[in-house]
Amino acid sequence: MVFVRTKMIKGHRYCYLVKGIWTQGKCRQKVIRYLGKYGDLHKKN
């Protein structure tokens, strides 16, 4: 399953496209692509 994840780093919010991958019986998040700053994505739309 692929979804958009936001991370808060030093007071700034960033967006990543991540995929859930099962390894050793646990679900891990693998970053597929960096999408940019949260505010910048909303300005484009």
pLDDT digits (tens, 9 = 90+) for 1-44: 899 999 999 999 999 999 999 999 999 999 999 999 988 776 65
Confidence check: pLDDT of 45 > 70: no
Q: Report angle CA 38, 41, 45 to the nearest 5 degrees.
A: 145
Fill in the DSSP letter of residue 16.
E
